[in-house]
């Protein structure tokens, strides 16, 4: 049975909690997980790169010289690809890079990512996360007590609190999300998954 330690905000272990085997204890499917990672990165590509073909470049409506008798090679337009200022051939056009994955595969991928975190003992649970002030230095103190100062942390809370948002937004190593917003890229990009007890319960409900 997989377990995770429960800590208070002083970094003291106060208990442990059993993790759902169907989410945190499966044999990871590397193939599906890899496909989900590729899908995640592909969805981040804008696909707005574009260049003009000869039909889109302005000018070139008149034949530059007559077909024969000039000593030049025949030309139909000064906007052909071989001319300076002409169009381009085989160059990028706007496109959609997004890929598709069915729901069952998405479930397997996210469960595989969670299971890897559990195998690496990279899951920590907080009894609660209540900040009296929105100061970043106060949250850094909590990270120090949990020995996570230099780690990339995926911080999961059931509901977004304004003080937590303000205290973490300037920290490049902290990604604050709600349970239903977690993606495979979020999990693989973090050294540790840190969730409140309520958030962990919500994760299990989302993937039930």
Give the neighbor-by-neighbor strand order of the sheet with 192-196.
13-18, 3-7, 123-126, 192-196, 153-156, 174-177
- List pLDDT tens digits, range 18-30: 999 999 999 999 9
Range of the domain at 124: 3-39+101-206
pLDDT the model gives residue 59: 87
pLDDT for the residue 113 = 96
**Span 46-65, average pLDDT:** 90
CA distance 164 to 108: 31
Instruction: Please tell me the predicted confidence (pLDDT) of residue 51.
Output: 92
Same domain, 68 and 10: no
Please state, rounded to an integer, the average pLDDT across all residues of the chain: 93
Do 149 and 168 reside in the same domain of the chain? yes
pLDDT, one tens digit per residue, over 6-18 is 999 999 999 999 9
Quote the pTM value. Answer: 0.81
pLDDT at site 109: 96
Does 123 share its domain with 186? yes
Nearest to 133 by CA among 167, 109, 179: 167
pLDDT for 87 equals 92
Model confidence at 155: pLDDT above 90: yes
- Spatial distance between the Cα atoms of 43 and 40, rounded to a whole number of angstroms: 5
> Do 86 and 143 belong together in one domain?
no
Q: Are residues 138 and 58 in the same domain?
A: no
């Amino acid at each position: 049975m997989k377990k995770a330690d429960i800590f208070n905000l002083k970094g003291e272990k106060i208990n442990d909690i059993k993790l759902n085997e169907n989410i945190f204890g499966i044999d990871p499917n590397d193939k599906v997980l890899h496909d989900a990672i590729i899908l995640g990165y592909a969805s981040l590509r804008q696909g707005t790169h574009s260049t003009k073909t000869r039909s889109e470049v302005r000018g070139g409506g008149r034949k530059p010289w007559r077909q024969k008798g000039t000593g030049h090679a025949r030309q139909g337009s000064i906007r052909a690809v071989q001319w300076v200022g002409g169009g381009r051939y085989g160059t990028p056009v706007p496109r959609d890079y997004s890929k598709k994955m069915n729901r069952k595969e998405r479930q397997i991928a996210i469960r595989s990512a969670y299971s890897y975190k559990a195998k690496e003992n990279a899951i920590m649970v907080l009894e609660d996360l209540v900040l009296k002030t929105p100061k970043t230095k106060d949250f850094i103190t909590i990270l120090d007590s949990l020995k996570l100062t230099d780690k990339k942390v995926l911080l999961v809370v059931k509901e977004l609190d304004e003080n937590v948002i303000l205290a973490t937004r300037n920290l490049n190593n902290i990604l604050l999300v709600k349970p239903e917003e977690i993606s495979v890229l979020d999990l693989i990009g973090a050294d540790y998954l840190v969730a409140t007890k309520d958030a962990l319960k919500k994760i299990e409900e989302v993937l039930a």
